[in-house]
Amino acid sequence: MNSSKVIHRKLGRHKAWGLASDEKRTIELDTRLKGYRHMLYLLHEHYHVQHPEWSETKVRKESSATAKLLWQQHYRRVDLSKK
């Protein structure tokens, strides 16, 4: 499985919280996403890149189930950058 490049930027003009390109293997996430929603949209776009043949319904179902499982197991994103 090849990894994807994740880019964080504001996506308001796209009216989306996340975008994926399976050709470029890139995931774009809105910088305003935090916590559970960040995890959910990261997984959602990841599944679009890894499984372009999946329907939107299947991507939503799988990303939601995976995010819930990880969140219940206390997986969290930690920002280690110095400000």
Convert the pLDDT of each residue in 1-11 to its tens digit: 678 899 999 99
Count the domains in the chain: 1
In a domain, 49, yes or no: yes
Number of other residues whose CB lies within 10 A of the CB of residue 26: 15
* 10-57 residue pLDDT tens: 999 999 999 999 889 999 999 999 999 999 999 999 999 999 999 999
* Contact of 54 with 33, CB cutoff 8 Å: no
Is 47 within the bounds of a domain? Answer: yes
In a domain, 26, yes or no: yes
The answer to whether residue 81 is domain-embedded is no
Triad 51, 77, 29: Cα angle to 5°: 50
* Residue 59 resides in a domain: yes
pTM (global) more than 0.85: yes
Domain span at 18: 5-72
Query: Residue 80 domain-assigned?
Result: no
